[in-house]
Structure 1
Amino acid sequence: MSDTEDTFDLSGPVHLTTVDWTNPDDQRSVAASLVKGVYVLHQDRKEGREGCRALAPRWWEFFHFQLCEQLIDKDDFSVFGAIFQLTSGPSDSNRSADQAPSYTIAFRGTIPKSDTFLRDLKLNIRIIRNRLHPASRVETALQAVRDVVATHGSSNVWLAGHSQGAATGMLAGKTMAKTGVFLETFLFNPPFVSHVIKRIKVKKVRHGIRLTRSVITAGLLKMRKYHESNWSGPLSAWWPRLFVNAADWICAEYIGYFEHREWMEKIGAGGIERLAAQHSVGGLVLDAIASTMGKPSEEPVHLIPSASLTVNRSPALHRRETHGIKRWWKDRIEAHGIRQWWRPDLLLESNIYTYM
């Protein structure tokens, strides 16, 4: 990351001088900025930027937060998360008591070309293999969330994460939701471990592939005597906010995942999909392999019963400036980046999906 990208006054949402805590756009921008603050916090530490040279504090102090705790990975000693507390400030008179977060726990994603890249890569492989749960970084994150909730309650606690950090936030939120604790959660570009069927242009082909996958998955689950009660408890009442870019292959399949569930209900196959949506064919294969090795099966982190899904369909900023492979690469980087989520001119589509 360059100093320009790390510098709030050059890259951050400086337009947001007053926060309306009841406004979803303002909430999204603040949550994304706090996640960005974790990225910059790690860069400050890596490059020895301290005191007045540190760039990270501006990302949270602009919104009247203070840093309470850095979350450190036990294996590579990198900063992967942080706990922020909202303090008194000029915006207090404008914030709603039941909407403003007293505490926010934020998690960064992978940092390319960094001393922590190898560790990040290993965790990304864990996400693909559905083995994120036992990672020490995730255990540290879960304990931090539990401690904040136990000490300060859950009513005004936010979770926020980007990319790999969104997977960590998803797991933390799901874990708390299963105990009846529902945290306001902002997940930016959360990884969806699947082929991106959404890229197929022919709608009938997409439906056919997803229908086949659902039938196969449900059939395998019936053979293994799985039941659809996994989502019938408190988890279905948790509504994380997912923010995905339609051009981002890492998270775009969430669009098709929820659209397919609605389509299956319309054609009278809702029972099949309610079972199949909780698992994936790849996950079942990995579980079968793990069971032969005496390892417990793990619930897919990325699959959830309910969500508020916001899709960014804005055109790329640099489209007129670059061409060919360079444009394609910049499109991928921009579509997966955290910076997009505090832009004031986004073309967004939002839908709420409920598990029934």
Structure 2
Amino acid sequence: MDASTKCFGIAGPTHIAMNIDWDKEEHRRCIVASILKGTSIHTNKKYKELAPRWWMSFHFELYRELKEDDQFMFGAIYRYKPPAGEPRHPSAPHYVFAFRGTMLEHDRPCHDLYHDWKVVTNDFRNCRHFNRAVDELSYILIKPSSTPATGVWLAGHSLGASFALDGGTLMIARDLNLPTFLFNPPQVSMAPVINLGLSNKAKNDLYDFSYKMKYILGKTKKLRRHSERMEVLFEKLSPWQPQLYVHEGDVVCQGFIDYFEQRERLLDRYPDITLLAMMMSYRDMISYLIGEDKEQPHLLPSARLWKVKKQSHSEDAHGLKQWWMPNNALGWSIYERGYKYIWKGKGEKGLQGCAPGLV
């Protein structure tokens, strides 16, 4: 790819750089996506000088590169500095933690592939790079001049979204609710195969059967304690509502689309079954039975899902460029925003799936 795709003045969201409105979701999304793009460019030595404009155009400075002793940069921390003489906008962040996606053109792609494997095996928390990110988060949130949790944003694209997702999960477990932006987050599941090979009716029938099977297994003596533990975890995570930006043509994140849309559909039909089954995964159940302690990161009680349809634009479905495009270019009108899924807890309906334009 030539340098023009990495030049902010040519490829970036210049349509908002001169008139930023931090209260608008569209502007927040475009800015965060731009910072992520700049992070990827900054990692590429060949184009490194083009990177700063991707964050400086929105009044951020590079605060710290995220890397371990091996000097492998997997992300960066940016600090917001409002223009001279202007106060910080109350909706603007203090810091943005940006985690880039996989870069095979990196001089050490094996590290990214190792991280990808950690996603597949759901083993991020045993990764020293992830632990370094958590240490940096903890320091900024608890240092003497501590920053409020709402002032620290987590953001990631593709592989980086897994860093942000697991980081946000750990922070909410500590009662720190961080705004989180996940672009094309990977979800390891059979969803791409199911969507490719089955009709809608067959797909719905398969999910009906799967949810009923999870419910039955969750009620067994061997797995009852696991299901009770997952319910406690859901209650703990429920205040956190990460923003998920997905494209229905992207196989990497199709699992997230199916997870939220199918559980909303099934909640209306089988509320009791769905409330338990939505907290369970077959991989978790197997892990529990063999003595491992894991939860699949896609099992989110609450989230806001922003979905782009296949026919909306011609850009790469998994690429970052689409996410700094304006709403109308993504096929979103003023009445078509995000779907908001809110976990309410056992004993109530349990999940609120709002129609576009109502959230």
Q: Where do 1:32-47 residues align within 5 Å?
A: 32-44=33-45, 47=46
Q: Pick from 273, 295, 301: which aligns with 2:297?
A: 301
Cα 1:109/1:91, change in 2 over 3 Å: farther
Residue 120 of structure 1 and its aligned partner are, at CA, apart by: 1.0
Is contact 1:6-1:40 (8 Å) kept?
Answer: yes
Cα 1:167/1:232, change in 2 over 3 Å: closer
CA distance in 1, matches of 2:324, 2:84: 21
The AA in structure 1 aligned to 2:190 is: H
Is contact 2:184-2:252 (8 Å) kept?
Answer: yes
The AA in structure 2 aligned to 1:10 is: I
Cα 1:90/1:339, change in 2 over 3 Å: farther
Q: Pick from 117, 136, 141: which aligns with 1:125?
A: 117
CA distance in 1, matches of 2:98, 2:113: 19
Residue 273 of structure 1 and its aligned partner are, at CA, apart by: 2.2
Gaps of 5+ in 2: 344-349, 351-359
Residue 200 of structure 1 and its aligned partner are, at CA, apart by: 5.3
Residue 180 of structure 1 and its aligned partner are, at CA, apart by: 1.5
Cross-structure match for 1:136: 128
The AA in structure 1 aligned to 2:309 is: R
Is contact 1:198-1:253 (8 Å) kept?
Answer: no
Cross-structure match for 1:87: 81
Query: Are 2:203 and 1:182 equivalent residues in the alignment?
Result: no
Q: Pick from 187, 192, 195: which aligns with 2:190?
A: 195
Cross-structure match for 1:354: 342
Is contact 2:76-2:98 (8 Å) kept?
Answer: yes
Residue 220 of structure 1 and its aligned partner are, at CA, apart by: 3.0
CA distance in 1, matches of 2:250, 2:259: 15
Deviation sequence 1:146-180 (CA, Å, 0-9, x none): 11222322131111100111011001111111221
Deviation sequence 1:240-297 (CA, Å, 0-9, x none): 0000001001002222211111122211x223222222232234335545x3xxxx32
Cross-structure match for 1:322: none
Matched residue pairs, number? 327
CA distance in 2, matches of 1:298, 1:74: 28
Query: Are 2:10 and 1:26 equivalent residues in the alignment?
Result: no
Cα 1:246/1:232, change in 2 over 3 Å: closer
Query: Are 2:141 and 1:157 equivalent residues in the alignment?
Result: no
The AA in structure 1 aligned to 2:341 is: Y
Cross-structure match for 1:321: none
Cross-structure match for 1:219: 216
Residue 89 of structure 1 and its aligned partner are, at CA, apart by: 1.1
Is contact 2:256-2:298 (8 Å) kept?
Answer: no
Cα 1:74/1:206, change in 2 over 3 Å: farther
Which deviates more, 61-70 or 216-225? 216-225
Cα 1:176/1:48, change in 2 over 3 Å: same
Secondary structure of the 2:330 match is coil
Identity %: 31
Secondary structure of the 1:353 match is strand
Cross-structure match for 1:9: 9
Is contact 1:38-1:79 (8 Å) kept?
Answer: no
Secondary structure of the 1:144 match is helix
CA distance in 2, matches of 1:248, 1:276: 25
Is contact 2:267-2:275 (8 Å) kept?
Answer: no
The AA in structure 2 aligned to 1:211 is: D
Deviation sequence 1:120-143 (CA, Å, 0-9, x none): 112112211111211111111111
Gaps of 5+ in 1: 319-330
Secondary structure of the 2:182 match is strand
Q: Pick from 199, 204, 207: which aligns with 2:204?
A: 207
Is contact 1:66-1:85 (8 Å) kept?
Answer: yes
Deviation sequence 1:312-338 (CA, Å, 0-9, x none): 1263755xxxxxxxxxxxx7xx11111
Q: Where do 1:189-268 residues align within 5 Å?
A: 189-196=184-191, 197-199=194-196, 202-223=199-220, 224-225=223-224, 226=226, 227=228, 228-267=230-269
Is contact 2:247-2:308 (8 Å) kept?
Answer: yes
Residue 195 of structure 1 and its aligned partner are, at CA, apart by: 1.3
Is contact 1:177-1:235 (8 Å) kept?
Answer: yes
Q: Where do 1:265-344 residues align within 5 Å?
A: 265-267=267-269, 269-288=270-289, 291=291, 296-313=292-309, 315=311, 318=314, 334-344=316-326
Cα 1:352/1:120, change in 2 over 3 Å: same
The AA in structure 2 aligned to 1:230 is: V
Is contact 2:66-2:73 (8 Å) kept?
Answer: yes
Cross-structure match for 1:328: none
Is contact 2:231-2:279 (8 Å) kept?
Answer: no
Residue 5 of structure 1 and its aligned partner are, at CA, apart by: 2.2
Secondary structure of the 1:155 match is helix
| Greater relative contact order (Cα < 8 A, sep 6+) | 1
Cα 1:288/1:41, change in 2 over 3 Å: farther
The AA in structure 1 aligned to 2:216 is: G
The AA in structure 2 aligned to 1:342 is: W
TM-score (norm 1): 0.85
